[in-house]
Amino acid sequence: MTNISSLAHKEIPTTTICIIRHGETDWNSLGKLQGTEDIELNDSGREQATQTARYFETEPWDIMVSSPLKRAYETAQIIASHLSIPTIHVVEEIRERSYGSASGLLPEERRTLFPDGVIPDQEDFEQLRQRAMIGLTKIVETFKNKKIIVVSHGGLTNSILYTLSGGEFGSFKTRLKNGCINRITFQNNHWKVVFYNKTTEELLSLKNI
């Protein structure tokens, strides 16, 4: 005979993922469009990564995953060091979108060269979304029911948020902050966005209310 009360309290297996946008780079501070170029963090970006780590100190985390690009990997290294996570797993599919000939351009330069907003040689948005979800699925299948920190990029992360929210937020609607945290869960083959685009300061202030 099955004990109904025990079923009611049985914990449903859940994979928890926090996707972080990397810390600031010099290109970010100048407003340059940054794609697959391998730009390092600046001092502000390193401090952002250190501050972001504070949020994760409030609960245990199992796995650290990063994009292969330097700005993401260095952010992951700083956070992993604070949390004593020994290994950073690199997933190629979560690298940033390629922006083609628009990469490295300032906003006014992009408006001049691409007045209609169409960049013909950038990575197609649907291809980006598919690649992002392939990477996310790979992470979930590899580290089932774990608590995972993923460091990636603004364009890539926004495409995931767009997909999971059915276009309610994410790409075309949300400007992700450097060092922001986006928490999602995967349970019973269902994705849920818990919160998005939050800084450690914002999240810790909510805990203190």
Q: pLDDT tens digits for 85-131?
A: 999 999 999 999 999 999 999 999 999 999 999 999 999 999 999 99
Domain contains 34: no
- Name the percent of the chain in helix, strand, coil, to the closest 5: 40, 20, 40
Domain with 167 in it: 41-99+128-207
Which residue type is seen at 147?
K
Rg of the chain taking only CA atoms, in angstroms? 18
* pLDDT recorded at residue 206: 76
**pLDDT tier, 183 (very low <50, low <70, confident <90, very high otherwise):** very high
* Domain-embedded: residue 118: no
Q: Is 89 inside any structural domain?
A: yes
Q: Please report whether residue 178 resides in a domain.
A: yes
Total number of domains in the chain: 1
Catalytic residues: 22, 96
CB atoms within 10 A of CB 149: 26
Q: Confirm if 164 and 133 have CB atoms less than 8 A apart.
A: no
pLDDT tens-place string over residues 51-98? 999 999 989 999 999 999 999 999 999 999 999 999 999 999 999 999
